[in-house]
Structure 1
C-alpha cells in the first residue's frame, strides 16, 4: 500500500490536484504525506467526501506544501442542505453549449429563475447538459501541460455533454466545475485510475485524459476512449513512471498475499504496462516494448496474478515484436489455467452457473487460438485448436 500510494503521487506533476474516490486510493496517500512527509505539494481531493461542507472548507485551505484547491463558491452556497444537488430542467436552451463560467454563475445565483421546486423543496436546476472549457494555448504550452511538439493537437475548447441518463449533479460535480473554471489551466489536474467507470465517474471527461501512471491528467487534447483504454499516452512519461520511478515492493514475492482489493489495482497496473507496450510498438520502438512486457511479467507472474483477459494484448505485443517463444509461453500458461478450470467444472451438474463458467473459459481459449493464427504461428495454433475442440467436447454444453 505504501509503494502504491507513492506511485499515485509520483504520477502527478508538482502542485497538482489529485481526485481520488474511495478508501484504498486515499488513506495510504494520506499516510505517506502525513507521516513520511512525501509529496506534500499534491492536494488530494476525495470525491466521496466532496459532498460535505466541512471537507470543502478544508480543501480551500493550504496544507503542508500544497496550495488550497481553487474552489470559489462561498460557504453559504454549499453548506449542508444547500445545493446538495442540482436538477436538469429543459427550458428551451438544452441545445446550447455553455462555458463552465456561465454555468457556475447560474448555479451560484440565488435568483428565483434558477430554482425549481421538487418534492416541496427548492433546488437549483441546470438548463443544458452541454459544457465547454476554454483553453489558453500559450499557457498550457508554457507550463508543460502539453508538449511543444503536440501544439497542433491543442483544442480551443474542451466540449462535453452529460449522458442522457444523468438528470442531476451532486454538490461535488458543481464544485469540480467551479474548480476547473477558476484553475484556468494553472495547476495540473488528475483523476486516479480507480475512480470507476460509472456514468457519474466523469466518463464525459475520458476523452481529455492522459494516462501518466496511476492517474489520468486532464489535457486539452481529445483522444477517443473506451473501457479499459482510457485517454492518450505520452510514452516517455508513462515509461518513466512504470519502469523507473515506481517501486513495487514485494508484490511478486511468494510469501506476499494479494487480496481482491490489491488484485484489482494490480490488474490496472498490468493493463497500463500493456498499453505502454502498444504505444511503443506503434512508435517503432520494439526493444523498449519488450523491456516493458518482460518487466510486467516479472512483477505479475501467473502464480501471483492469474493471466486473464488483460494479458491477451501483451500476448499479441510479443508476437508483433517477433518474440514468438515468449508469446507461446504465455499461451501455454493460459491454456493450462483454462483446462484446469474446465476439468474442475466438468465434475458438477450442468446448471446455469456452471455452464456460464465453462463458456467463459472456452471463449478465452478460443481467443488464444485466434491470436496464434492471426500472427501466422500456424503449427502451434493447430495444436491449440485440437486441444480446444477436445475441451469443447468434454464440456458437453449442448
Structure 2
C-alpha cells in the first residue's frame, strides 16, 4: 500500500472519495492459460508497486483481473483499488482516472489531423476511431453521472463543464464532416450532449450546439432510410441489419432529445386521451419526414416478404425482423403483426 501511494499508482481522488486500497488483489481464471497469461501471473507475483503496469487493447481478455483496471484515456492501468464490483455506496465511479484521462484527451493525445478535409479517414482507420470515440463517450458519461451524484454545487458544475469540454474535443478532432459516424458510439456521444442540455436548459449556446450536431446526424440517418425504402425486395433483404441499425439510431436520437419530464407528461396525456403536443414525442425528429419514411419502410418490408422465394430464406428474414437487438420491436409489430403470430 505504501508504495502504491508513494509512487502515485493509487488514485488520490478515488481515495479521497472513499475508495480504499485493497489488502490484496484476488481474481479467478477460467478455461485454459496461454503463455501471455503465465507472463502476467509471473509479473504480478513479483510486483512491488513501484512502477505502474499498463494493459492495452481489450480489458476483457484479462478476465476477472479487469475489476482492478482503471482507464487513463486509451490504456488500462492496474490499480490497487477495486474499480468495478464492490464499490462503496454513495461514492463516485472511478472507471476512469479523471485528472489523467482529461489531460490526455485535451492536451496530450495527437489525433492525426482527422479534422482536416484533405486527410482521408478510411474504413481501416475507423476501427481505431471507434475505440477512441468509445472512450470519449465512456468518460463523458462517467463525468455526467458523478456530477449528478455530487452534493456540492461547485463540484457538480465543474464536472458538467468537464463533460462538455470532453465532448467538444471529441467532435473537434473527429468531426462528422470528415470522420463518418460509426455504429452506436457516435449516437451515444450525442446523447451525452443532450444530457448536458437537459441539465442546463437555460444555456442557449449549449442547446444550439447540441441541436446542430444532432440534426446533422438525423439528416444522415434519414437519408439512409430513404435509400433503403427505395430498394427492390431482393436488395432490401440483404440490407436488413443496416436498416434496423438506422431505425435504432434514429430512435436513440429521438428519445435522447426529449427531457424525461416532457416524455412523462406526454405519456400521461396520451393515457388520459388528452391533447398532446407532437413535438413532445418527436423531439429532434419533429418537422422531418420520419413518419412518412416509416410508412414507406413498412410497405417495403411487407413487399419483400411477399416476393421472397423459398421457405428457408423467408425464415431467415423473419428471425432478423423479430430480433429485438436488430429492429425496434414496436415498429416491426406495427408493420408486420403476422410475424409474431
Is the TM-score greater than 0.5? yes
The residue aligned with 1:312 is 187
1:304 offset after TM fit, Å?
2.1
The residue aligned with 2:257 is 372
The structure-2 alpha-carbon separation of the partners of 1:319 and 1:354, relative to structure 1 and needing over 3 Å to count, comes to: closer
Show CA shifts across 1:72-102 (max 9, x none).
xxxxxxxxxxxxxxxxxxxxxxxxxxxxxxx
Are the equivalent residues in 1 in contact too, given 2:69–2:79 (CA < 8 A)?
yes
**1:291 matched to 2:165:** yes
Q: Select 2:244's aligned residue among 337, 348, 359.
A: 359
Runs of 4+ in 1 over 6 A off after TM superposition: none
Q: Select 1:336's aligned residue among 219, 222, 237.
A: 219
Q: Per the alignment, in what secondary structure is the counterpart of residue 257 of structure 1?
A: coil
1:189 offset after TM fit, Å?
0.7
**1:217 matched to 2:102:** no
The residue aligned with 2:21 is 154
Aligned equivalents of 2:239, 2:256: Cα separation in 1: 26
Aligned equivalents of 2:94, 2:75: Cα separation in 1: 11
Aligned equivalents of 2:168, 2:133: Cα separation in 1: 11
The structure-2 alpha-carbon separation of the partners of 1:340 and 1:280, relative to structure 1 and needing over 3 Å to count, comes to: same
**1:280 matched to 2:143:** yes
The structure-2 alpha-carbon separation of the partners of 1:389 and 1:160, relative to structure 1 and needing over 3 Å to count, comes to: farther
The residue aligned with 1:17 is none
Aligned equivalents of 2:242, 2:114: Cα separation in 1: 28
Aligned equivalents of 1:274, 1:142: Cα separation in 2: 31
Aligned equivalents of 1:276, 1:149: Cα separation in 2: 15
The structure-2 alpha-carbon separation of the partners of 1:362 and 1:178, relative to structure 1 and needing over 3 Å to count, comes to: same
**1:300 matched to 2:202:** no
Q: Per the alignment, in what secondary structure is the counterpart of residue 217 of structure 1?
A: strand
Aligned equivalents of 1:313, 1:344: Cα separation in 2: 24
Aligned equivalents of 1:267, 1:307: Cα separation in 2: 9
Any gaps of 5 or more consecutive residues in structure 2? Answer: 86-92, 148-155, 198-205, 264-277, 303-341
Q: How many residues align?
A: 251
Compute the TM-score of the two structures, normalised by the length of structure 1.
0.57
**Alignment RMSD:** 2.5
Aligned equivalents of 2:94, 2:112: Cα separation in 1: 27
1:252 offset after TM fit, Å?
1.2
The structure-2 alpha-carbon separation of the partners of 1:366 and 1:321, relative to structure 1 and needing over 3 Å to count, comes to: closer
Are the equivalent residues in 2 in contact too, given 1:331–1:368 (CA < 8 A)?
yes
1:231 offset after TM fit, Å?
7.4
Aligned equivalents of 1:389, 1:347: Cα separation in 2: 15
Aligned equivalents of 1:206, 1:328: Cα separation in 2: 37
The residue aligned with 1:51 is none
Query: Relative contact order, CA 8 A, sep 6+: which one is greater?
Result: 1
The residue aligned with 1:207 is 67
The residue aligned with 1:382 is 282
Aligned equivalents of 2:208, 2:29: Cα separation in 1: 47
Q: Per the alignment, in what secondary structure is the counterpart of residue 76 of structure 2?
A: strand
